[in-house]
Amino acid sequence: MGTAIMITSGKGGTGKTTLTAGIASCLAAIGRRVLCIDMDIGLRNLDISLGMTDRIVMDFSDVVEGRCTLERGAADHPVIKGLSLLTAPMRLPTERISEEQMRAFIRQAKQAYDYILIDSPAGIGSGFKLALSGADRVIVVTTNDPSSLRDAQRTVGEISRTHNHIHLIMNRIQPKLLKQLHTTIDDAMDTAGLPLLGVVPEDGQVPLALGEGKPLVLASRKGAAVACLNIARRINGERIPLMKIH
Ligand code: ADP
Ligand code: MG
């Protein structure tokens, strides 16, 4: 039986999609079967981060509403074995899918995959709530900037009504902050009130890989790519020390 993990943040542009793709690729690379679900309806872009734009035919609503099976609907990654994607529809009134339908769909997916990574939309609206209803665990992504931290805090308040397995990832940490990093991380953990799952550096390879339509972990073996691998291994139960950012 697999585990469903939602990646969320409150604020847009913190790196949810980038990290969903990066962590999912790394979980697959260490031998787990992984399904990514893009739940950012209308603004989907997880297919781009995974380098799978030309593979998309069906979306998650086709599976949830019974128009195709999960097996047919999920697109396999062309290079990374064990990695599949179900994209988001371009248009879908979220109230058309009930939380019960969502949970049944995720239960079914957990039979076939070890990890289901759900990329959530920004905010705490209906799309966020639908994504949350299927998740066992939640990862909240924040950058170091105060408005991102405050949004993360609000989001955690919302999530903790129903979920108690919540972790934090700090993304886009500048190497020059290294000296203050411990205070920064402590502050972030205090502000968000969460245990830390990982720290990801600001890395020029992220936009470069995106521009080339390549998954980050196939484009780079340092910086953010290593941070994603460490996070994947922690999710998978290994004890990996926090990475040093040089
Ligand atoms: P979200 O899904 O939260 O809206 P994205 O994953 O789409 O955020 O990232 C927003 C932008 O930030 C993208 O242009 C992406 O390339 C960039 N980005 C995300 N993480 C990093 C990083 N660690 N280093 C450099 N750029 C990043
Ligand atoms: Mg996104």
User: How do residues 217-244 score in pLDDT, each as one tens digit?
Assistant: 999 989 999 999 999 999 999 888 775 5
Confidence of residue 95 (pLDDT cuts 50, 70, 90): confident
Q: How far is the CA of 242 from the centre of ligand 1 (A)?
A: 21
Residue 55's pLDDT is 86
Residue 241's pLDDT is 76
Which ligand is the nearest neighbour of the Cα of 198? 1
β 34-38/115-119 pair status? parallel
- pLDDT tens, position by position, 13-50: 999 999 999 999 999 999 999 999 999 998 999 999 99
Confidence of residue 177 (pLDDT cuts 50, 70, 90): low
- pLDDT tens, position by position, 114-124: 999 999 999 99
Ligand 1 first shell, C-beta below 6 A: 9, 12-18, 171-172, 200, 202-203, 206-207, 210, 224
Q: How far is the CA of 31 from the centre of ligand 1 (A)?
A: 26
Q: Give nearest CA residue, ligand 1 atom 9.
A: 15
Residues 6+ apart with CB under 8 A from 104: none
Work out which ligand 1 atom sits closest to the CA atom of 223. 23
Q: Is 92 left (phi over 0), alpha (psi -120 to 50) or beta?
A: beta
Alpha-carbon span 108 to 118, nearest angstrom: 15
Residue 180's pLDDT is 62
Q: Give nearest CA residue, ligand 1 atom 15.
A: 207
